[in-house]
């Protein structure tokens, strides 16, 4: 097989993102997330390493289901404190030319008009390097932060998200015609008003008059990323996503997930090749296996199972269950917090003790884990990409920026030798980088394109 394998770095504007406890490691810089230098240094590093993008996750509430409150999450810095992901992008854009920025924003709590303008602004300032990871948010605590008593029911959140995107497509694609902006000094015409239109959206959830306040940005609609796992989430991805973070837990499941999403996309009349796929990857690499083993042991000493338990599945307290109980039985009993909390673990014959044992072990948390020499890591990356059809990977960090540095120093050259990693950037928008030269706007078969005005 051949073809370039793409990489995003998985990040979050916080101390403890995925690998809990490791902020105490002396080589970790995560606690510097409040310094602009942390972000600009990281962006420069990733651009040196020819990464596609940095992906910034986000949540808008505290993990407060574990042991009945947020104390564990707060003490262990499990995604709290967490700052806004959008605001670090312009700083990173200023010190790079090619790196993409995928930012997470929820469709559930803040109305679409202001978000449309923020994303257009970012697309302008980055010259078309921005993506939006669309989430519907999964924490009850988030709902309470935005004036609700409880979470909106899962499928209804996706129904709201559908209309949210419809509004945004109208603003991004339909409100301003190409050629509306004239910047004609002699005639005093910045914009031709005949080519700027209200959207007059009146729907079940939103009423938005328009016109959009931003002039068209290089990509108009940012590249749409999504990570739905449920039936409803996958349908949403099939309709809207251009990049999917698959949450599947094994090579076979990732392969099936990708094929399934492509099939669903084709059923919506989209070109299935216009969706790219990024499973998460955890990589520990060193020149010798001896060094790899030492690194693993070193990381393991700092990992905190408490932190994982507080975050895992919105904070279900697995320790409160009988260790011998089958996960399938807990899921079958139902209850609100089993919905997403442990459902992904069902159907695999696992017992509570198996899950507890795996929590806090370096290597848990995603489908793809490899600890080895550069050759072995590259072998596994190639095998996974080729056997699943994944476009690339979302690299998780253990130490920041150490994990990315190791990868760039040791794995990238090995993949380049094999012709599987770019050796330079093309001048392109993020969408072109993923979908091919010239595709800087939504492809014609994407539902957002239907909101364009015909000249």
Residue for token pair 């269950």:
321
59 contacts ligand FMN (rule: CB under 6 A): yes
245 contacts ligand FMN (rule: CB under 6 A): yes
Q: What SS3 class is residue 360?
A: coil
What is the x/- site pattern for ligand FMN, positions 327-356, by CB under 6 A? Answer: -------------x----------------
Instruction: Compute the 3-state secondary structure of the chain and give helix, strand, coil in percent, each to the nearest 5.
Output: 45, 15, 40
Q: For residue 126, with 0-12 CB atoms within 10 Å meaning exposed, 13-18 middle and 19 or more buried, which class applies? A: buried
Q: How many CB atoms lie within 10 A of CB 52?
A: 28
104 is in an annotated binding site: yes
135 contacts ligand FMN (rule: CB under 6 A): yes
- Of the candidate spans 33-41, 111-119, 130-138, 318-326, the one that interacts with ligand FMN by CB under 6 A turns out to be 130-138
> Could you say which of 79, 96, 104, 141 contacts ligand FMN (CB under 6 A)?
104
154 is in an annotated binding site: yes
- 324 CB contacts (<8 Å, ≥6 apart)? 351, 352, 353
229 contacts ligand FMN (rule: CB under 6 A): yes
101 contacts ligand FMN (rule: CB under 6 A): no
Q: How far apart are CA 58 and CA 195, in angstroms?
A: 36
Q: Which of 114, 137, 10, 11 lies closest to 63 in space, CA to CA?
A: 137
**Minimum CB separation from ligand FMN for residue 137, in Å?**
5
**Minimum CB separation from ligand FMN for residue 82, in Å?**
10
| Closest CB to ligand FMN: residue number | 233
CA angle 260, 262, 268 (to 5 degrees): 110
Phi, psi of 117 (to 5 degrees): -70, -40
Cis peptide before 11 (omega within 30 of 0): no
> Could you say which of 23, 105, 138, 384 contacts ligand FMN (CB under 6 A)?
138
- Of the candidate spans 120-128, 228-236, 263-271, 314-322, the one that interacts with ligand FMN by CB under 6 A turns out to be 228-236
What is the x/- site pattern for ligand FMN, positions 270-289, by CB under 6 A? Answer: ----------x---------
57 contacts ligand FMN (rule: CB under 6 A): yes
**Minimum CB separation from ligand FMN for residue 438, in Å?**
29
**Minimum CB separation from ligand FMN for residue 247, in Å?**
3
H-helix or E-strand spanning residue 191: strand 189-191
- Of the candidate spans 17-25, 222-230, 282-290, 306-314, the one that interacts with ligand FMN by CB under 6 A turns out to be 222-230
Using the Cα atoms of residue 187, residue 188, residue 190 and residue 196 in order, give the sign of their dihedral: negative
CA angle 10, 89, 416 (to 5 degrees): 50
Tell me the helices (H) and strands (E) count for the chain, helix number first.
17, 14
Summarize the annotated binding site as residue ranges: 58, 104, 154, 158, 230
Interface residues with ligand FMN (CB under 6 A) are 57-59, 104, 135-138, 227-230, 233, 245, 247, 280, 340, 394
Summarize the annotated binding site for FMN as residue ranges: 58, 104, 154, 158, 230
């Amino acid at each position: 097989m051949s073809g370039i394998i793409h990489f995003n770095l998985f990040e979050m504007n916080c101390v403890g993102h995925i690998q809990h406890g490791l902020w105490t490691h002396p080589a970790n810089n995560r606690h510097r997330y409040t310094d602009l230098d942390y972000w600009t240094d990281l962006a420069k590093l990733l651009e040196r390493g020819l990464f596609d993008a940095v992906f910034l996750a986000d949540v808008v509430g505290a993990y407060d289901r574990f042991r009945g409150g947020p104390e564990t999450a707060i003490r262990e810095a499990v995604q709290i404190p967490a700052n806004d992901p959008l605001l670090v992008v312009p700083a990173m854009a200023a010190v790079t030319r090619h790196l993409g920025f995928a930012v997470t924003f929820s469709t559930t709590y803040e109305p679409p008009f202001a978000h449309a303008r923020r994303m257009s602004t970012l697309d302008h300032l980055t010259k078309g390097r921005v993506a939006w990871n669309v989430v519907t948010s999964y924490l009850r605590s988030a709902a309470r932060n935005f004036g609700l008593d409880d979470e909106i029911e899962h499928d209804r959140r996706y129904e709201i998200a559908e209309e949210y995107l419809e509004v945004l497509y109208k603003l991004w694609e339909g409100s301003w015609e190409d050629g509306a902006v004239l910047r004609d000094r002699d005639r005093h015409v910045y914009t031709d008003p005949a080519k700027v239109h209200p959207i007059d959206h009146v729907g079940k959830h939103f009423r938005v008059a328009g016109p959009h306040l931003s002039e068209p940005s290089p990509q108009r609609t940012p590249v749409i990323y999504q990570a739905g796992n449920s039936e409803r989430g996958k349908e949403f991805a099939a309709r809207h996503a251009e990049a999917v973070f698959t949450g599947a837990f094994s090579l076979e499941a990732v392969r099936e997930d990708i094929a399934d999403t492509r099939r669903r996309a084709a059923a919506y009349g989209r070109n299935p090749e216009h969706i790219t796929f990024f499973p998460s990857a955890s990589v520990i690499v060193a020149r010798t296996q001896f060094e790899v083993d030492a690194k693993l042991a070193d990381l393991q000493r700092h990992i905190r199972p408490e932190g994982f338990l507080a975050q895992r599945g919105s904070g279900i307290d697995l320790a409160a269950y009988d260790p011998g109980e089958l996960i399938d039985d807990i899921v079958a009993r139902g209850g609100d917090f089993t919905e997403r909390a442990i459902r992904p673990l069902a159907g695999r014959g696992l017992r509570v003790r198996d899950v507890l044992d795996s929590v806090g072990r370096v290597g848990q948390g995603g489908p793809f884990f490899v600890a080895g020499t550069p050759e072995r890591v590259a072998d596994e990356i190639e095998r996974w990409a080729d056997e699943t059809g994944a476009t690339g990977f979302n690299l998780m960090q253990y130490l920041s920026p150490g994990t990315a540095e190791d990868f760039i120093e040791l794995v990238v050259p090995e993949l380049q030798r094999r012709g599987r990693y770019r050796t330079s950037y093309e001048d392109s928008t993020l969408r072109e980088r993923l979908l091919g030269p010239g595709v800087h706007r939504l492809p014609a078969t994407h539902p957002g394109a239907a909101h364009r005005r015909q000249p």
